[in-house]
Structures are given as C-alpha cells and as structure tokens.
Amino acid sequence: MTYVSNYPSWWPYISSNIFVSYWGVAAGVVVVYDWVLTLRQEIELIWRQRWSLMTVLYLTIRYIGIPFSVINLLPIMPSVSLTDAVSTITYYTESVINLVVTAMLGVIMIARLYAMYHGSRKMLIFLVIIFLAVIITCGVILAIDLEYSVWEEFVLSGTYICYYVDGDGANHQISYSTVWILYTVWEVLALCFSIWIAVKHFCDLRRLGASTGSTIGDCFRVLIQSHVLYFASFVGVSCLQLTELSPEIANLNSIGAQILYGAVQILLVVQMFVLGPRLILSVREYNAKLVAYSDAETSMHSIVFHERVHVSTSSTV
C-alpha cells in the first residue's frame, strides 16, 4: 500500500534520501569507470584466451556489477516511482545477487589458496567444507529474512522512497549482522592461510638463496598484494555495515550518518565488482608478462587460474 504525505516533518528524511542517492550514482560510476579502465586487459587476458571456470566467474562478477548498481539505486531515487511489489522484488534481487557473488568470490579465493598450497587435497577439502558451511548458513538466514520482509512505497512531498517494513526489525538486524560476521570469519581465515604460506615460501627462498626462486617469490607477491587490498576493502564494508545497524546511527538524519551510508554503497561495489575481478586479472596479467619476457617455462604454469596465455609475436603488436 502506497503511503502519501506532505507533512514538513518528513523533509529531513527526504533531504537525506536525496543526498544518499548521489552516493548510489557515484557507486555505479565507479563500476563503469573500472570496467573501461581494464577493458583492454580484459580483452587480451580473458576474451582471447581459452575459456575456463575462472573466465566464467570473472565475466559473471564483472558484468553483473552494472545492473546491480542500477537495482541498488532505484529504491532510493526520489524521482523514480516503484510499486510495493516492484520494490520487494528489487530487494529480493539485490539480496540474491549479493549471496551469489559472495559464493563466486569464495570459489576464487579457494582456487588461489589451493594453488598456493601446491594442490594440497587436504587444504582443498578443508576450505570447501568451511566455505560451504558459511555460505549455506547465510543462504538459510537470507531466505528466512526475505520471507518476512516487505517493502512499501512512500510518496513524500512529491518524492518517491521505498521503505523497508518488517514485523520485527530486531530480528532483521540480528540476521543481517550474523551474515556479515560469518562472511568476515571466512575472509579472515582465507587471509591467514594466504599470509602463512606466503611467509613460509619467502623464508624458504631466502634460506635456500635459489636464483630460480625469484619467479615464485614474485608470484606470491602478486597474490598477496591483490588479496590484502581485497580484504582491506571487505573489512571496511563489514565495519560500516555493522555500524549502520546501530539504532542510534540508523535513525539519524545527520550528515555523518548519510556519509556513512553512502560510503557503504561505494565500498560494497568496489569490494565485489572491482577488486573481486582483479583477483583473477592480476594473476593473468602477471603470467602474461612472464610468457612475453621469458623463453623458459615458469612455475606460474601450475596455478589453477590461468589458461596458457598466447601472446602474438606479430610486428603489429
């Protein structure tokens, strides 16, 4: 049921919603800008190579980011009118995309760790069990939350706002925070395993002093750098999401609360749709450089991410 009101008491909320919508537009611009920025690399390292699971994951995550930004923006656009049903469907779609992309990023992370641990089957089984437990639990929590969630359209002084209506807001907050805590536990675990094996390799290389180990060391630096940057963005999103659940902050219309909510929107799309695809792109880019500047086979050919990169030797390149 659409709620219509022209009371001046709603004006601070209207101003807050308009301000937040600017951040939503900025989040979409960031996704498009990064896609344009990496399009040349994508063509060379993704489209022109043999297709694999990582290719499918990269393209899915990369190209679902733009429609996700639009879906995320529609409910807070003051000039866009959505019915109650459309608002609810939009929320469902956004939530499902979040879960699916998170699952895909988890598969990418498992593949990276599996490669870093030299194809250890025990490590693979352990990571798969832990991640399945996390993602299935989050899926069940999400399904329960969606079952009882309802969105309604508010027409306030000529502007349109989709407002979340829940019979028990406390349960919604608990469910939401539980999901983010579980995601955070998984990401912390993945980071610890990555740092542990990387430090072990660097110590072994330093002790052996093998000149042939420089390639392996560079490979691990690429993996760790992209992983740490991705993890830092995830931590930022998690902290802001959990902070936003505080009733004292959620009910504020202050500029600080608006900036907090806007920062969440930007960091979320950066973490999933910018840094996520770069987890794959960074490895393929490094491998392409090895193939281009080395005549010998390199140890990077054992990593599960890449299909062998064929670099044209034509004089036109």
State pLDDT tens for residues 159-195. 777 766 655 555 667 777 888 889 989 999 999 998 8
192-246: per-residue pLDDT in tens?
998 898 888 778 777 766 544 455 656 777 788 888 889 888 888 888 777 766 6
Q: Which residue has the higher pLDDT, 54 or 309?
A: 54
313 within some domain: no
Report the chain's mean pLDDT, rounded to a whole number.
Answer: 79
* CATH code for the domain of 60: 1.20.1070
Question: Does pLDDT of 295 surpass 80?
Answer: no
- pLDDT-derived band at 252 (thresholds 50, 70, 90) equals low
Percentage of the residues of the chain whose pLDDT score is greater than 90: 27
Q: Is residue 314 assigned to a domain?
A: no
The average pLDDT across 118-127 equals 92
Nearest to 42 by CA among 28, 61, 16: 61
pLDDT at 312 over 70: no
More confident residue, 65 or 238: 65
Q: Alpha-carbon Rg of the chain, whole angstroms?
A: 22
205 found inside a domain: yes
The per-residue pLDDT for 253 is 61
Name the H helices within the chain.
Answer: 11-42, 53-73, 84-116, 121-147, 169-208, 214-244, 247-250, 255-269, 275-293
List residues bridging with 165 in a β-sheet.
150
Strand order in the sheet with 149-156: 3-5, 149-156, 159-166
Q: Is the pLDDT of residue 44 over 60?
A: yes
| Residue 8 pLDDT exceeds 60 | yes
- Total number of domains in the chain: 1
Tell me if 311 is assigned to some domain.
no
Q: In the prediction, which pLDDT does 1 show?
A: 59
pLDDT class for 277, splitting at 50, 70, 90? very high
**Model pLDDT, residue 303:** 47
pLDDT of res. 9: 72
CB 4 within 8 A of CB 155: yes
Q: Is the pLDDT of residue 314 over 50?
A: no
Report CA dihedral (109, 90, 172, 235) to the nearest 10 degrees: 30
Instruction: Answer yes or no: is pLDDT of 313 > 50.
Output: no
**Residue 172: inside a domain:** yes
Is the residue at 308 inside a domain? no
| Confidence band, pLDDT 50/70/90 cuts, at residue 299 | very low
Closest CA to 142 of 106, 169, 107, 180: 180
Average pLDDT for 85-105: 87
The pLDDT assigned to 164 comes to 63
In a domain, 307, yes or no: no
Domain assignment present for 315? no
Pairing relationship of beta strands 3-5 and 149-156 according to DSSP bridges: parallel
| Rounded distance between C-alpha atoms, residue 107 and residue 305, angstroms | 11
Report the percent of the chain where pLDDT is more than 70. Answer: 79
Q: Which domain holds residue 73?
A: 3-302
Helix axes 11-42, 275-293, angle to 10 degrees: 20
Q: What is residue 95's predicted lDDT score, i.e. its pLDDT?
A: 87
Q: What is the pLDDT of residue 56?
A: 94
Query: Above 60 in pLDDT, residue 36?
Result: yes
